[in-house]
Structure 1
Amino acid sequence: MKLEDIKVIGVVGAGTMGQGIAQICAQAGYTTILFDINAQVLEKAKTTITQNLDKGIERGKLTEAEKKTALDNLTFTGDTLQLSCQLIVEAVVERLEVKQSIFKELASINPADTILASNTSSIPITQIAASIPNPERVVGMHFFNPAHIMKLVEVISGAATAPETADTIKALALKLGKTPVMAKDSPGFIVNRVARHFYVEGLKLLEEGVADVETIDKLMQASGFKMGPFELMDLIGVDTNYSVTTSMFEAFHYDSKFRPSRIQQQKVDAGHHGRKSGKGFYTYE
Protein backbone atom coordinates (compact mmCIF):
# COMPACT_ATOMS: atom_id res chain seq x y z
CA MET A 1 0.00 0.00 0.00
CA LYS A 2 1.43 3.35 -1.09
CA LEU A 3 0.42 6.82 0.12
CA GLU A 4 -1.48 7.58 -3.10
CA ASP A 5 -3.57 4.44 -2.59
CA ILE A 6 -4.97 5.70 0.72
CA LYS A 7 -8.37 7.30 0.22
CA VAL A 8 -10.32 6.29 3.33
CA ILE A 9 -8.90 6.25 6.86
CA GLY A 10 -10.62 4.55 9.78
CA VAL A 11 -9.92 5.49 13.39
CA VAL A 12 -10.98 3.06 16.12
CA GLY A 13 -11.63 4.66 19.49
CA ALA A 14 -13.22 8.11 19.81
CA GLY A 15 -11.50 9.13 23.04
CA THR A 16 -9.02 11.96 23.43
CA MET A 17 -6.44 10.55 21.00
CA GLY A 18 -8.83 9.02 18.47
CA GLN A 19 -10.84 12.19 17.98
CA GLY A 20 -7.67 14.23 17.45
CA ILE A 21 -6.31 11.76 14.90
CA ALA A 22 -9.63 11.69 13.05
CA GLN A 23 -9.72 15.50 12.99
CA ILE A 24 -6.32 15.93 11.35
CA CYS A 25 -7.00 13.18 8.81
CA ALA A 26 -10.27 14.87 7.82
CA GLN A 27 -8.54 18.27 7.64
CA ALA A 28 -5.93 16.75 5.32
CA GLY A 29 -8.69 15.82 2.88
CA TYR A 30 -9.18 12.15 3.71
CA THR A 31 -12.58 10.53 4.02
CA THR A 32 -12.38 9.60 7.70
CA ILE A 33 -14.52 7.15 9.67
CA LEU A 34 -14.38 7.48 13.46
CA PHE A 35 -15.62 4.35 15.23
CA ASP A 36 -16.55 3.72 18.84
CA ILE A 37 -18.92 1.26 20.50
CA ASN A 38 -20.16 4.02 22.83
CA ALA A 39 -22.62 6.42 21.19
CA GLN A 40 -22.11 9.04 23.92
CA VAL A 41 -18.35 9.01 23.34
CA LEU A 42 -18.93 9.50 19.62
CA GLU A 43 -21.25 12.44 20.27
CA LYS A 44 -18.72 14.01 22.63
CA ALA A 45 -15.98 13.51 20.02
CA LYS A 46 -18.06 15.31 17.39
CA THR A 47 -18.59 18.24 19.77
CA THR A 48 -14.91 18.42 20.69
CA ILE A 49 -13.73 18.28 17.07
CA THR A 50 -16.14 21.08 16.15
CA GLN A 51 -14.86 23.17 19.08
CA ASN A 52 -11.24 22.54 18.02
CA LEU A 53 -12.02 23.70 14.49
CA ASP A 54 -13.78 26.80 15.83
CA LYS A 55 -10.68 27.63 17.89
CA GLY A 56 -8.62 27.27 14.72
CA ILE A 57 -10.85 29.84 13.04
CA GLU A 58 -10.56 32.21 16.02
CA ARG A 59 -6.77 32.02 15.77
CA GLY A 60 -6.77 32.66 12.05
CA LYS A 61 -5.40 29.22 11.19
CA LEU A 62 -8.57 27.92 9.58
CA THR A 63 -11.44 29.26 7.48
CA GLU A 64 -15.15 28.50 7.76
CA ALA A 65 -14.94 26.70 4.41
CA GLU A 66 -12.07 24.51 5.66
CA LYS A 67 -14.04 23.69 8.80
CA LYS A 68 -17.05 22.64 6.71
CA THR A 69 -14.88 20.48 4.44
CA ALA A 70 -13.27 18.75 7.43
CA LEU A 71 -16.64 17.98 9.02
CA ASP A 72 -18.00 16.78 5.67
CA ASN A 73 -15.07 14.35 5.47
CA LEU A 74 -15.96 12.85 8.85
CA THR A 75 -18.34 9.97 9.57
CA PHE A 76 -19.13 8.84 13.11
CA THR A 77 -20.22 5.24 13.52
CA GLY A 78 -20.67 2.34 15.90
CA ASP A 79 -20.79 -0.20 13.08
CA THR A 80 -17.48 -1.99 12.39
CA LEU A 81 -18.71 -3.05 8.95
CA GLN A 82 -18.34 0.59 7.86
CA LEU A 83 -14.60 0.36 8.49
CA SER A 84 -13.71 -0.63 4.96
CA CYS A 85 -10.52 1.38 4.54
CA GLN A 86 -7.00 1.43 3.17
CA LEU A 87 -5.65 2.47 6.58
CA ILE A 88 -7.05 1.92 10.06
CA VAL A 89 -5.52 3.58 13.12
CA GLU A 90 -6.36 1.96 16.46
CA ALA A 91 -6.47 4.31 19.47
CA VAL A 92 -7.98 2.29 22.30
CA VAL A 93 -6.96 1.21 25.81
CA GLU A 94 -3.37 0.01 26.37
CA ARG A 95 -4.19 -3.68 26.58
CA LEU A 96 -2.61 -6.16 24.20
CA GLU A 97 -5.58 -8.51 23.99
CA VAL A 98 -7.96 -5.65 23.14
CA LYS A 99 -5.76 -4.36 20.33
CA GLN A 100 -5.26 -7.85 18.88
CA SER A 101 -8.99 -8.57 19.01
CA ILE A 102 -9.78 -5.34 17.15
CA PHE A 103 -7.16 -5.98 14.45
CA LYS A 104 -8.33 -9.57 13.94
CA GLU A 105 -11.88 -8.38 13.36
CA LEU A 106 -10.76 -5.60 11.03
CA ALA A 107 -8.50 -7.99 9.10
CA SER A 108 -11.51 -10.22 8.43
CA ILE A 109 -13.48 -7.44 6.71
CA ASN A 110 -10.66 -5.72 4.81
CA PRO A 111 -8.21 -6.70 2.04
CA ALA A 112 -4.83 -8.19 3.00
CA ASP A 113 -3.02 -4.96 2.13
CA THR A 114 -5.08 -2.67 4.41
CA ILE A 115 -2.57 -1.08 6.79
CA LEU A 116 -3.34 -1.66 10.47
CA ALA A 117 -1.64 1.03 12.55
CA SER A 118 -1.59 1.20 16.34
CA ASN A 119 -1.38 4.40 18.35
CA THR A 120 0.00 2.38 21.28
CA SER A 121 2.26 4.27 23.67
CA SER A 122 4.17 1.31 25.01
CA ILE A 123 3.14 -2.15 23.74
CA PRO A 124 5.62 -3.67 21.26
CA ILE A 125 4.26 -3.77 17.71
CA THR A 126 5.71 -7.27 17.30
CA GLN A 127 3.40 -8.52 20.06
CA ILE A 128 0.35 -6.81 18.57
CA ALA A 129 1.05 -8.24 15.11
CA ALA A 130 1.90 -11.76 16.31
CA SER A 131 -1.54 -13.27 15.75
CA ILE A 132 -2.77 -10.96 12.96
CA PRO A 133 -3.05 -12.20 9.35
CA ASN A 134 -0.45 -10.55 7.10
CA PRO A 135 1.56 -9.04 9.99
CA GLU A 136 3.74 -7.17 7.50
CA ARG A 137 0.99 -4.50 7.31
CA VAL A 138 0.90 -3.89 11.09
CA VAL A 139 2.82 -0.79 12.18
CA GLY A 140 3.00 1.71 15.02
CA MET A 141 1.77 5.27 14.39
CA HIS A 142 2.08 6.97 17.76
CA PHE A 143 0.65 10.48 18.03
CA PHE A 144 0.98 12.73 21.07
CA ASN A 145 -1.70 14.57 22.99
CA PRO A 146 -3.30 16.80 21.78
CA ALA A 147 -2.98 15.01 18.44
CA HIS A 148 -4.35 17.90 16.36
CA ILE A 149 -1.61 20.21 17.70
CA MET A 150 1.48 18.16 18.64
CA LYS A 151 3.83 17.67 15.68
CA LEU A 152 5.71 14.53 16.64
CA VAL A 153 4.65 11.08 15.38
CA GLU A 154 6.64 7.92 16.16
CA VAL A 155 6.57 5.38 13.32
CA ILE A 156 7.43 1.97 14.79
CA SER A 157 8.32 -1.17 12.84
CA GLY A 158 7.76 -4.55 14.46
CA ALA A 159 9.78 -7.63 13.53
CA ALA A 160 7.36 -8.45 10.70
CA THR A 161 6.53 -4.92 9.51
CA ALA A 162 7.36 -4.43 5.84
CA PRO A 163 9.67 -1.45 5.14
CA GLU A 164 7.14 -0.25 2.54
CA THR A 165 4.44 -0.09 5.24
CA ALA A 166 6.59 2.06 7.53
CA ASP A 167 7.57 4.30 4.61
CA THR A 168 3.91 4.84 3.70
CA ILE A 169 3.05 5.82 7.29
CA LYS A 170 6.01 8.20 7.39
CA ALA A 171 4.82 9.83 4.16
CA LEU A 172 1.28 10.09 5.54
CA ALA A 173 2.52 11.74 8.74
CA LEU A 174 4.30 14.35 6.63
CA LYS A 175 1.12 14.96 4.62
CA LEU A 176 -0.76 15.46 7.89
CA GLY A 177 1.73 18.19 8.79
CA LYS A 178 3.52 16.10 11.39
CA THR A 179 7.18 15.37 12.07
CA PRO A 180 7.68 11.59 11.84
CA VAL A 181 10.51 9.80 13.65
CA MET A 182 11.34 6.21 12.73
CA ALA A 183 11.74 3.99 15.80
CA LYS A 184 12.64 0.39 16.46
CA ASP A 185 10.27 -1.84 18.40
CA SER A 186 10.90 -1.57 22.13
CA PRO A 187 8.63 -1.00 25.15
CA GLY A 188 7.82 2.70 25.29
CA PHE A 189 9.70 3.29 22.02
CA ILE A 190 11.62 6.58 22.29
CA VAL A 191 9.52 9.28 23.94
CA ASN A 192 7.70 7.29 26.59
CA ARG A 193 10.85 5.46 27.63
CA VAL A 194 12.71 8.74 28.09
CA ALA A 195 9.76 10.57 29.65
CA ARG A 196 8.62 7.81 32.00
CA HIS A 197 10.96 8.94 34.78
CA PHE A 198 9.71 12.50 34.48
CA TYR A 199 6.43 11.15 35.89
CA VAL A 200 7.67 8.24 38.02
CA GLU A 201 10.28 10.26 39.93
CA GLY A 202 7.81 13.10 40.50
CA LEU A 203 5.36 10.59 41.97
CA LYS A 204 8.09 9.08 44.16
CA LEU A 205 8.86 12.54 45.57
CA LEU A 206 5.16 12.94 46.37
CA GLU A 207 4.93 9.46 47.94
CA GLU A 208 7.94 10.15 50.17
CA GLY A 209 6.56 13.53 51.28
CA VAL A 210 9.55 15.44 49.92
CA ALA A 211 7.28 18.10 48.39
CA ASP A 212 3.68 18.61 47.34
CA VAL A 213 2.25 18.55 43.81
CA GLU A 214 2.37 22.31 43.26
CA THR A 215 5.97 22.63 44.47
CA ILE A 216 7.24 19.80 42.28
CA ASP A 217 5.50 21.25 39.23
CA LYS A 218 6.87 24.76 39.91
CA LEU A 219 10.40 23.42 40.33
CA MET A 220 10.23 21.59 37.02
CA GLN A 221 8.89 24.70 35.27
CA ALA A 222 11.70 26.74 36.82
CA SER A 223 14.11 24.19 35.35
CA GLY A 224 12.85 24.88 31.84
CA PHE A 225 9.92 22.48 31.40
CA LYS A 226 6.72 24.00 30.04
CA MET A 227 4.64 21.88 32.42
CA GLY A 228 5.42 19.92 35.56
CA PRO A 229 4.73 16.15 35.75
CA PHE A 230 1.39 16.46 37.56
CA GLU A 231 0.01 19.13 35.23
CA LEU A 232 1.07 17.03 32.27
CA MET A 233 -0.46 13.83 33.68
CA ASP A 234 -3.74 15.71 34.16
CA LEU A 235 -3.60 16.89 30.54
CA ILE A 236 -2.75 13.46 29.11
CA GLY A 237 -5.13 11.64 31.43
CA VAL A 238 -4.04 10.16 34.75
CA ASP A 239 -5.60 6.83 33.75
CA THR A 240 -3.80 6.78 30.39
CA ASN A 241 -0.47 7.67 31.98
CA TYR A 242 -0.90 4.99 34.65
CA SER A 243 -1.78 2.40 32.00
CA VAL A 244 1.40 3.18 30.03
CA THR A 245 3.57 2.99 33.14
CA THR A 246 2.02 -0.35 34.09
CA SER A 247 2.58 -1.69 30.58
CA MET A 248 6.24 -0.66 30.61
CA PHE A 249 6.75 -2.05 34.12
CA GLU A 250 5.57 -5.44 32.86
CA ALA A 251 7.50 -5.21 29.57
CA PHE A 252 10.76 -4.50 31.39
CA HIS A 253 10.25 -7.57 33.60
CA TYR A 254 9.12 -5.55 36.62
CA ASP A 255 12.23 -3.40 36.84
CA SER A 256 11.67 -1.23 39.94
CA LYS A 257 12.56 1.98 38.12
CA PHE A 258 9.29 1.67 36.18
CA ARG A 259 7.13 0.78 39.20
CA PRO A 260 3.67 2.40 38.99
CA SER A 261 2.72 4.71 41.85
CA ARG A 262 0.11 3.77 44.47
CA ILE A 263 -0.97 7.42 44.58
CA GLN A 264 -1.61 7.40 40.85
CA GLN A 265 -3.54 4.13 41.14
CA GLN A 266 -5.76 5.68 43.83
CA LYS A 267 -6.52 8.57 41.50
CA VAL A 268 -7.51 6.15 38.75
CA ASP A 269 -9.65 4.06 41.12
CA ALA A 270 -11.44 7.23 42.28
CA GLY A 271 -12.15 8.33 38.70
CA HIS A 272 -9.89 11.37 39.05
CA HIS A 273 -8.54 11.17 35.51
CA GLY A 274 -7.44 14.78 35.09
CA ARG A 275 -8.83 17.54 32.93
CA LYS A 276 -11.25 15.25 31.11
CA SER A 277 -12.99 14.27 34.36
CA GLY A 278 -12.71 17.68 36.05
CA LYS A 279 -10.36 16.45 38.73
CA GLY A 280 -6.93 14.82 38.84
CA PHE A 281 -3.95 16.07 40.79
CA TYR A 282 -5.64 19.45 40.39
CA THR A 283 -9.32 20.43 40.33
CA TYR A 284 -10.76 22.01 37.16
CA GLU A 285 -13.93 24.02 36.63
Structure 2
Amino acid sequence: MAVSGTPTTHEEGGMFDVTGISVVVTGGTRGIGRGIAAVFARGGAQVLVTGRDAERGKLAAEDLSALAEQAGRGGSVAFVEADVVSAGAAEEVAERAVELHGGIDVLCANAGIFPEAPLATMTEADMDLVWATNVKGTMLAVRACLPALAASRRGRIVLTSSITGPITGFPGWAHYGASKAAQLGWMRTAAVELAPQGITVNAVLPGNIATEGLAAMGPDYIAATEAVIPVHRLGSVEDIGSAALFFASREAAYVTGQALVVDGGQVLPESPAAVA
Protein backbone atom coordinates (compact mmCIF):
# COMPACT_ATOMS: atom_id res chain seq x y z
CA MET A 1 0.00 0.00 0.00
CA ALA A 2 1.08 3.57 -0.50
CA VAL A 3 2.48 5.47 2.43
CA SER A 4 0.14 8.37 1.63
CA GLY A 5 -0.63 10.31 4.78
CA THR A 6 1.64 8.12 6.95
CA PRO A 7 5.27 9.09 6.36
CA THR A 8 7.88 6.53 7.28
CA THR A 9 10.64 7.57 9.67
CA HIS A 10 14.27 7.10 8.74
CA GLU A 11 14.57 4.48 11.47
CA GLU A 12 12.13 2.22 9.63
CA GLY A 13 14.34 1.85 6.56
CA GLY A 14 17.80 2.52 5.22
CA MET A 15 18.99 5.33 3.00
CA PHE A 16 16.80 5.90 -0.05
CA ASP A 17 14.22 3.44 1.24
CA VAL A 18 11.17 3.21 -1.03
CA THR A 19 9.54 0.15 0.49
CA GLY A 20 5.77 0.21 0.05
CA ILE A 21 5.50 3.53 -1.75
CA SER A 22 3.27 3.92 -4.81
CA VAL A 23 5.11 4.83 -8.00
CA VAL A 24 3.76 5.60 -11.48
CA VAL A 25 6.20 5.36 -14.40
CA THR A 26 4.85 6.57 -17.74
CA GLY A 27 6.46 4.91 -20.72
CA GLY A 28 7.72 2.25 -18.34
CA THR A 29 7.57 -0.81 -20.58
CA ARG A 30 10.90 -0.36 -22.37
CA GLY A 31 14.18 1.54 -22.36
CA ILE A 32 14.85 4.07 -19.63
CA GLY A 33 11.32 3.83 -18.25
CA ARG A 34 11.66 0.11 -17.74
CA GLY A 35 14.98 0.67 -16.00
CA ILE A 36 13.38 3.20 -13.66
CA ALA A 37 10.55 0.79 -12.90
CA ALA A 38 13.01 -2.02 -12.20
CA VAL A 39 14.99 0.02 -9.68
CA PHE A 40 11.86 1.01 -7.75
CA ALA A 41 10.37 -2.49 -7.89
CA ARG A 42 13.56 -4.09 -6.59
CA GLY A 43 13.52 -1.51 -3.81
CA GLY A 44 10.11 -2.69 -2.64
CA ALA A 45 7.86 -0.09 -4.27
CA GLN A 46 4.42 -0.76 -5.72
CA VAL A 47 4.90 0.29 -9.34
CA LEU A 48 2.39 1.00 -12.10
CA VAL A 49 3.88 1.30 -15.58
CA THR A 50 2.13 2.70 -18.64
CA GLY A 51 2.61 2.18 -22.35
CA ARG A 52 0.75 2.20 -25.64
CA ASP A 53 1.41 -1.45 -26.55
CA ALA A 54 -0.75 -3.77 -24.44
CA GLU A 55 1.13 -6.96 -25.27
CA ARG A 56 4.53 -5.42 -24.61
CA GLY A 57 3.22 -3.88 -21.41
CA LYS A 58 1.89 -7.12 -19.98
CA LEU A 59 5.15 -8.93 -20.71
CA ALA A 60 7.17 -6.10 -19.19
CA ALA A 61 5.05 -6.16 -16.04
CA GLU A 62 5.55 -9.91 -15.71
CA ASP A 63 9.32 -9.63 -16.12
CA LEU A 64 9.58 -6.70 -13.73
CA SER A 65 7.39 -8.46 -11.17
CA ALA A 66 9.77 -11.42 -11.30
CA LEU A 67 12.69 -9.08 -10.58
CA ALA A 68 10.79 -7.61 -7.65
CA GLU A 69 10.03 -11.06 -6.28
CA GLN A 70 13.70 -12.06 -6.52
CA ALA A 71 14.67 -8.96 -4.56
CA GLY A 72 12.35 -10.08 -1.75
CA ARG A 73 11.35 -6.61 -0.54
CA GLY A 74 7.67 -6.84 -1.38
CA GLY A 75 7.74 -4.79 -4.58
CA SER A 76 5.25 -5.33 -7.38
CA VAL A 77 4.63 -4.11 -10.93
CA ALA A 78 1.32 -3.67 -12.75
CA PHE A 79 0.60 -2.34 -16.24
CA VAL A 80 -2.08 -0.08 -17.65
CA GLU A 81 -2.40 0.70 -21.35
CA ALA A 82 -2.38 4.46 -21.89
CA ASP A 83 -1.24 7.14 -24.33
CA VAL A 84 0.06 10.16 -22.42
CA VAL A 85 -1.15 12.62 -25.07
CA SER A 86 -4.73 12.01 -23.87
CA ALA A 87 -6.00 13.78 -20.75
CA GLY A 88 -8.56 11.03 -20.25
CA ALA A 89 -5.91 8.33 -20.39
CA ALA A 90 -3.74 10.20 -17.88
CA GLU A 91 -6.67 10.43 -15.49
CA GLU A 92 -7.36 6.71 -15.88
CA VAL A 93 -3.74 5.97 -14.96
CA ALA A 94 -3.98 8.06 -11.81
CA GLU A 95 -7.28 6.44 -10.84
CA ARG A 96 -5.85 2.97 -11.40
CA ALA A 97 -2.78 3.71 -9.27
CA VAL A 98 -4.96 4.91 -6.41
CA GLU A 99 -7.22 1.88 -6.78
CA LEU A 100 -4.31 -0.58 -6.77
CA HIS A 101 -1.92 1.02 -4.31
CA GLY A 102 -3.97 3.38 -2.19
CA GLY A 103 -2.44 6.57 -3.56
CA ILE A 104 0.49 7.98 -5.53
CA ASP A 105 3.73 9.00 -3.87
CA VAL A 106 5.97 9.31 -6.92
CA LEU A 107 5.30 10.12 -10.57
CA CYS A 108 8.14 9.43 -12.98
CA ALA A 109 7.01 11.29 -16.11
CA ASN A 110 9.22 9.41 -18.51
CA ALA A 111 7.15 8.76 -21.66
CA GLY A 112 8.76 10.34 -24.69
CA ILE A 113 9.68 9.85 -28.33
CA PHE A 114 12.66 10.90 -30.43
CA PRO A 115 11.95 10.45 -34.15
CA GLU A 116 14.62 11.81 -36.46
CA ALA A 117 13.64 14.66 -38.80
CA PRO A 118 16.10 17.11 -40.40
CA LEU A 119 14.96 20.72 -40.28
CA ALA A 120 14.62 21.00 -44.05
CA THR A 121 12.12 18.16 -44.22
CA MET A 122 10.53 18.33 -40.76
CA THR A 123 6.75 18.53 -41.09
CA GLU A 124 4.23 20.23 -38.87
CA ALA A 125 2.97 16.77 -37.94
CA ASP A 126 6.49 15.79 -36.83
CA MET A 127 6.66 18.83 -34.58
CA ASP A 128 3.18 18.34 -33.15
CA LEU A 129 3.73 14.67 -32.32
CA VAL A 130 6.98 15.25 -30.43
CA TRP A 131 5.57 18.26 -28.57
CA ALA A 132 2.34 16.46 -27.68
CA THR A 133 4.15 13.42 -26.31
CA ASN A 134 7.16 14.93 -24.60
CA VAL A 135 5.75 18.21 -23.27
CA LYS A 136 1.97 18.03 -23.21
CA GLY A 137 2.11 14.39 -22.10
CA THR A 138 4.31 15.33 -19.17
CA MET A 139 1.98 18.11 -18.07
CA LEU A 140 -1.15 15.96 -18.43
CA ALA A 141 0.35 13.13 -16.39
CA VAL A 142 1.36 15.52 -13.63
CA ARG A 143 -2.03 17.24 -13.57
CA ALA A 144 -3.86 13.93 -13.33
CA CYS A 145 -1.69 12.72 -10.44
CA LEU A 146 -1.64 15.99 -8.47
CA PRO A 147 -4.48 15.24 -5.99
CA ALA A 148 -2.92 11.93 -4.99
CA LEU A 149 0.60 13.40 -4.85
CA ALA A 150 -0.61 16.18 -2.56
CA ALA A 151 -2.41 13.67 -0.32
CA SER A 152 0.80 11.65 -0.05
CA ARG A 153 2.51 14.37 2.04
CA ARG A 154 5.75 13.34 0.31
CA GLY A 155 4.86 13.77 -3.34
CA ARG A 156 7.69 13.49 -5.83
CA ILE A 157 7.69 14.24 -9.55
CA VAL A 158 10.70 13.12 -11.57
CA LEU A 159 10.95 14.08 -15.24
CA THR A 160 13.07 12.29 -17.82
CA SER A 161 14.58 15.09 -19.87
CA SER A 162 17.86 14.76 -21.82
CA ILE A 163 21.22 16.39 -22.37
CA THR A 164 19.99 16.93 -25.95
CA GLY A 165 18.32 20.32 -26.00
CA PRO A 166 19.12 21.69 -22.55
CA ILE A 167 22.90 21.26 -23.04
CA THR A 168 23.80 19.72 -26.41
CA GLY A 169 22.41 19.46 -29.92
CA PHE A 170 22.27 16.66 -32.48
CA PRO A 171 21.30 16.86 -36.17
CA GLY A 172 17.78 15.63 -36.83
CA TRP A 173 16.57 16.13 -33.29
CA ALA A 174 15.79 19.85 -33.19
CA HIS A 175 12.15 19.21 -32.28
CA TYR A 176 13.17 16.64 -29.66
CA GLY A 177 15.78 18.97 -28.17
CA ALA A 178 13.26 21.79 -27.99
CA SER A 179 10.80 19.55 -26.15
CA LYS A 180 13.39 18.45 -23.61
CA ALA A 181 14.46 22.02 -22.91
CA ALA A 182 10.80 22.96 -22.53
CA GLN A 183 10.36 20.30 -19.87
CA LEU A 184 12.97 22.07 -17.73
CA GLY A 185 11.31 25.45 -18.14
CA TRP A 186 8.02 23.90 -17.06
CA MET A 187 9.74 22.11 -14.15
CA ARG A 188 11.03 25.29 -12.54
CA THR A 189 7.64 26.97 -12.36
CA ALA A 190 5.95 23.72 -11.31
CA ALA A 191 8.48 23.30 -8.49
CA VAL A 192 7.61 26.74 -7.12
CA GLU A 193 3.88 26.27 -7.55
CA LEU A 194 3.73 22.83 -5.96
CA ALA A 195 6.15 23.36 -3.08
CA PRO A 196 3.40 24.50 -0.66
CA GLN A 197 1.75 21.10 -1.18
CA GLY A 198 4.94 19.27 -0.19
CA ILE A 199 5.58 18.14 -3.78
CA THR A 200 9.06 18.32 -5.28
CA VAL A 201 9.73 18.44 -9.04
CA ASN A 202 13.11 17.47 -10.47
CA ALA A 203 14.54 16.10 -13.70
CA VAL A 204 17.12 13.57 -14.79
CA LEU A 205 19.07 14.41 -17.97
CA PRO A 206 20.39 11.16 -19.47
CA GLY A 207 23.29 11.09 -21.87
CA ASN A 208 23.73 8.13 -24.20
CA ILE A 209 22.04 5.18 -22.50
CA ALA A 210 22.08 1.58 -23.72
CA THR A 211 18.47 1.16 -24.89
CA GLU A 212 16.67 -0.32 -27.87
CA GLY A 213 16.53 3.13 -29.42
CA LEU A 214 20.26 3.70 -29.16
CA ALA A 215 21.00 0.24 -30.50
CA ALA A 216 19.12 1.26 -33.64
CA MET A 217 21.73 3.99 -34.22
CA GLY A 218 24.18 1.25 -35.13
CA PRO A 219 27.53 -0.06 -33.84
CA ASP A 220 29.58 2.71 -35.45
CA TYR A 221 27.60 5.40 -33.64
CA ILE A 222 27.89 3.53 -30.34
CA ALA A 223 31.65 3.02 -30.70
CA ALA A 224 32.23 6.66 -31.62
CA THR A 225 30.12 7.79 -28.67
CA GLU A 226 31.87 5.57 -26.15
CA ALA A 227 35.22 6.92 -27.37
CA VAL A 228 34.36 10.48 -26.31
CA ILE A 229 32.65 9.66 -23.01
CA PRO A 230 35.20 10.00 -20.19
CA VAL A 231 34.10 6.74 -18.52
CA HIS A 232 34.25 5.02 -21.96
CA ARG A 233 30.91 3.27 -21.78
CA LEU A 234 27.25 3.90 -22.39
CA GLY A 235 25.06 4.43 -19.38
CA SER A 236 22.62 1.75 -18.27
CA VAL A 237 18.91 2.23 -17.72
CA GLU A 238 19.55 1.40 -14.07
CA ASP A 239 21.90 4.42 -13.86
CA ILE A 240 18.91 6.62 -14.67
CA GLY A 241 16.67 4.63 -12.35
CA SER A 242 19.08 5.23 -9.48
CA ALA A 243 19.02 8.99 -10.11
CA ALA A 244 15.22 8.92 -10.11
CA LEU A 245 15.30 6.91 -6.89
CA PHE A 246 17.37 9.62 -5.24
CA PHE A 247 14.93 12.36 -6.24
CA ALA A 248 12.06 10.20 -4.96
CA SER A 249 13.67 9.56 -1.61
CA ARG A 250 13.10 11.26 1.73
CA GLU A 251 16.74 12.27 1.67
CA ALA A 252 15.97 14.53 -1.33
CA ALA A 253 13.05 16.28 0.36
CA TYR A 254 14.89 19.64 0.23
CA VAL A 255 15.78 19.32 -3.46
CA THR A 256 13.35 20.74 -6.00
CA GLY A 257 13.50 22.39 -9.41
CA GLN A 258 16.85 20.76 -10.17
CA ALA A 259 18.24 18.95 -13.21
CA LEU A 260 20.75 16.13 -12.71
CA VAL A 261 22.95 15.20 -15.67
CA VAL A 262 23.72 11.46 -15.82
CA ASP A 263 26.03 11.03 -18.80
CA GLY A 264 29.36 9.58 -17.70
CA GLY A 265 30.91 13.02 -18.17
CA GLN A 266 29.98 13.20 -21.85
CA VAL A 267 29.34 16.96 -21.88
CA LEU A 268 32.57 17.84 -20.05
CA PRO A 269 35.45 17.48 -22.57
CA GLU A 270 36.38 20.59 -24.54
CA SER A 271 37.28 18.33 -27.47
CA PRO A 272 37.72 14.60 -28.18
CA ALA A 273 41.45 15.15 -27.61
CA ALA A 274 40.70 15.70 -23.91
CA VAL A 275 39.48 12.11 -23.49
CA ALA A 276 42.27 9.62 -23.04
- Give the TM-score category using the shorter length: 0.3 to 0.5
- The alignment's TM-score, normalised by the length of structure 2, stands at 0.46
Asked which structure has the greater CA Rg, the reply is: 1
Higher relative contact order (CA 8 A, sep 6+): 2
